[in-house]
C-alpha cells in the first residue's frame, strides 16, 4: 500500500498501516470539518437576546430586531448545509452499519481500515487495499481479517474476493446470532456538485469518526491498484485520512453513494481533496465477486485523448467531440480490428496531442462526448462481446466491429 505518483500531487490509498500507526498519530492531525448554523451570536447577546430566542422569533414571524433609530435590521440567514441535511441523524442511522477492519499479513505486518455492512447475511464491503498486500510484487490477500462492529463485537471474516480495478473487496462474517445493520445504497449518478455528504470511518484508528463536507466534483479519474484508472470517482472536501479506506460516503438520506478510497496530497495528510469509488461501480464489482470471487472488465486496448471543438477545428476534423486514438496496444482487440493510433504530435493550447490516428465518435450508436465516455461505454460491456465503433478516418466516417478482450492486470511495454 505505497503512495502512487501522480505528477505534482500524490494519490494515496487511505488504509492505515498498523506498524506505523503510532508515528502517524504523532505527526499527522486530522482536520475534521463540522456543519453548523451561525446566527450572529455576538450580536444577539449584545442586545440581550439569546441566539435561540432570536432564531425562534424569526421562524414564528415575530418582530425583527431594530437599530438605535427604530429601523428594522435586515434579516440574515447563514446556512452551511442544504435543507434536510442533518449530520447527527445521518450518523445515528448509519454508524451501526459501519465497521473497523483489521488485516494480518504475517511477517509483513498488518493494516487497518473501514467498511460497511451490505446485508443481514454478513456481507461486508471495503477497499481491496485494506485486505490485500502488494509489497511482494504481487497482490496477496491477508492471512487473517477481523471486523469490529459498533457494539465492539469482533468477528473473523472470510475474503470472498477482491477487485483491484475498482479497489473493492467483499468480505463475509457469520453473525453468530446477533443482528447486523445493513446500510442502504444510494445513486451516485444523481449526485450534484455542492451536495452535502458525510463520511464515517476509522481515521488514524479513531473508530466511528464523522466528517462532513460537500461533493466538490464528480466523474473524476483516480488511481486503482492497477495501471488502469477508476472512472466516475466522487471528489469531496469531507475530511478523509488514513484509516477511512472502505468506509461509506453518505448522502442526506444516509444512503451510501461511494466508499472512501484515497486522497491527493503533497504532504501525506488530508489536504481537503478526497475521492470515493462510486456505488454504481461497487455494485457491479460486488455482483461478480459474489459469483466468482473475482471481477472481469472488458478491454479494447487503446489509449485516447478527448477531442473538443477548438481542437477539432485545429485538426480539420468533421466532428466536435470524440476520442483521439493516441496508441493501439499491439495484439489487443483494437489492433486486431485494424484501428490506428497516432503517428504525429501537435502542441496546442499548452497541451500535446497524438495526431494522425483514428477518432472514435460513437460506441454502439452512442456518441462519445465526454472525456470518460469511451471508458464508461466499454466498462458496460463484457469480455468477448462484439461492439460496433463509428470512427473518423481520413475525415470519413466508417463502422468497425471490435471483439472486446479481458482487461489485463498490466499492459506489457512494447
Tell me which of 108 and 233 has the higher pLDDT.
233
Specify the pLDDT at position 371.
84
Specify the pLDDT at position 16.
62
Specify the pLDDT at position 12.
58
Residues 244 and 223 in one domain: yes
Say which of 35, 103, 114, 129 is annotated catalytic.
129
| Cell digits of residue 386 | 462484439
Active site residue 129: yes
β-pairing verdict for 256-265 and 209-223: unpaired
Say which of 133, 163, 167, 237 is annotated catalytic.
167
Tell me which of 286 and 45 has the higher pLDDT.
286
Confidence of residue 269 (pLDDT cuts 50, 70, 90): low
Query: Is 342 part of any domain?
Result: yes
Residues 323 and 218 in one domain: no
Q: Is the pLDDT of residue 40 over 60?
A: no
Which domain, by its residues, includes 206?
A: 1-34+84-295
Query: Is 78 part of any domain?
Result: no
Residues 383 and 275 in one domain: no
Residues 190 and 331 in one domain: no
pLDDT of 270-291, one tens digit each? 666 899 999 999 999 999 999 9
Q: Is the pLDDT of residue 119 over 90?
A: yes
Q: Is the pLDDT of residue 337 over 90?
A: yes
Q: Is the pLDDT of residue 35 over 60?
A: no
What average pLDDT does range 205-216 have in this prediction? 95
pLDDT over 90 percentage in the chain: 68
The domain that holds 367 is classified in CATH as 2.30.42.10
Residues 7 and 153 in one domain: yes
Q: Is the pLDDT of residue 167 over 70?
A: yes
Residues 285 and 305 in one domain: no
Active site residue 245: yes
Specify the pLDDT at position 17.
55
Q: Is 147 helix (H, G, I), strand (E, B) or coil?
A: strand
Last residue in a domain, options 262, 295, 328: 295
Query: Is 153 part of any domain?
Result: yes
pTM of the model: 0.78
Active site residue 167: yes
Query: Is 160 part of any domain?
Result: yes
Specify the pLDDT at position 409.
79
The domain that holds 192 is classified in CATH as 2.40.10.120
Total tally of structural domains belonging to the chain:
2
Residues 248 and 314 in one domain: no
Say which of 245, 285, 358, 379 is annotated catalytic.
245
Q: Is 388 helix (H, G, I), strand (E, B) or coil?
A: strand
Average pLDDT in the chain: 83
Tell me which of 315 and 23 has the higher pLDDT.
315
Specify the pLDDT at position 7.
31
Last residue in a domain, options 295, 320, 336: 295
β-pairing verdict for 274-278 and 405-406: unpaired
Residues 308 and 334 in one domain: yes
By CB neighbour count within 10 A (0-12 exposed, 13-18 middle, 19+ buried), where does 390 fall?
Answer: buried
Last residue in a domain, options 280, 295, 310: 295
pLDDT of 57-69, one tens digit each? 333 344 444 454 5
Residues 361 and 248 in one domain: no
pLDDT of 128-166, one tens digit each? 999 999 887 789 999 999 999 998 999 999 999 999 999
Amino acid at each position: 500500500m505505497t503512495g502512487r505518483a501522480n505528477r505534482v500531487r500524490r494519490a494515496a490509498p487511505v488504509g492505515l498501516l498498523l506498524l506505523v500507526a503510532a508515528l502517524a498519530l504523532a505527526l499527522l492531525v486530522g482536520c475534521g470539518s463540522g456543519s453548523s448554523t451561525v446566527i450572529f451570536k455576538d450580536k444577539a447577546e449584545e442586545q440581550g437576546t439569546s441566539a435561540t430566542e432570536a432564531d425562534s422569533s424569526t421562524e414564528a414571524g415575530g418582530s425583527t430586531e431594530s437599530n438605535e433609530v427604530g429601523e428594522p435590521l435586515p434579516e440574515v440567514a447563514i446556512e452551511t448545509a442544504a435543507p434536510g441535511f442533518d449530520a447527527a441523524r445521518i450518523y445515528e442511522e448509519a454508524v451501526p452499519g459501519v465497521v473497523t477492519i483489521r488485516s494480518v499479513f504475517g511477517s509483513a505486518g498488518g493494516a487497518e481500515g473501514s467498511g460497511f455492512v451490505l446485508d443481514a447475511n454478513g456481507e461486508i464491503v471495503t477497499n481491496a487495499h485494506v485486505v490485500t498486500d502488494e509489497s511482494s510484487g504481487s497482490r496477496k490477500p491477508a492471512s487473517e481479517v477481523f471486523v469490529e462492529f459498533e457494539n465492539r463485537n469482533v468477528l473473523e471474516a472470510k475474503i470472498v474476493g477482491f477487485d483491484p480495478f475498482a479497489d473493492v473487496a467483499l468480505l463475509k462474517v457469520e453473525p453468530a446470532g446477533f443482528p447486523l445493520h445493513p446500510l442502504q445504497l444510494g445513486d451516485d449518478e444523481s449526485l450534484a456538485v455542492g451536495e452535502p455528504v458525510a463520511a464515517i470511518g476509522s481515521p488514524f484508528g479513531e473508530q466511528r469518526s464523522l466528517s462532513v463536507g460537500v461533493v466538490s466534483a464528480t466523474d473524476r479519474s483516480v488511481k486503482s491498484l492497477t495501471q488502469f484508472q477508476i472512472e466516475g470517482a466522487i471528489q469531496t472536501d469531507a475530511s478523509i485520512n488514513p484509516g477511512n479506506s472502505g468506509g461509506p460516503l453518505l448522502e442526506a438520506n444516509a444512503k451510501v453513494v461511494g466508499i472512501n478510497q484515497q486522497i491527493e496530497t503533497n504532504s501525506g495528510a488530508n489536504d481537503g481533496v478526497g475521492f470515493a469509488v462510486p456505488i454504481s461501480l461497487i455494485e457491479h464489482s460486488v455482483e461478480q465477486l459474489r459469483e466468482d470471487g473475482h471481477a472481469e472488465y472488458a478491454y479494447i486496448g487503446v489509449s485516447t485523448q478527448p477531442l473538443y471543438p477548438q481542437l477539432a477545428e485545429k485538426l480539420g476534423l468533421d466532428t466536435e467531440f470524440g476520442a483521439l486514438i493516441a496508441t493501439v496496444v499491439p495484439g489487443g482487440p483494437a489492433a486486431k480490428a485494424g484501428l490506428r493510433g497516432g503517428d504525429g504530435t501537435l502542441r496546442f493550447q499548452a497541451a500535446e496531442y497524438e495526431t494522425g490516428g483514428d477518432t472514435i465518435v460513437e460506441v454502439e450508436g452512442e456518441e462519445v462526448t465526454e472525456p470518460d465516455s469511451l471508458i464508461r461505454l466499454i466498462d458496460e460491456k463484457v469480455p468477448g462481446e462484439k461492439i460496433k465503433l463509428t470512427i473518423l478516418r481520413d475525415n470519413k466516417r466508417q463502422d468497425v466491429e471490435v471483439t472486446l478482450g479481458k482487461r489485463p492486470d498490466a499492459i506489457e511495454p512494447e
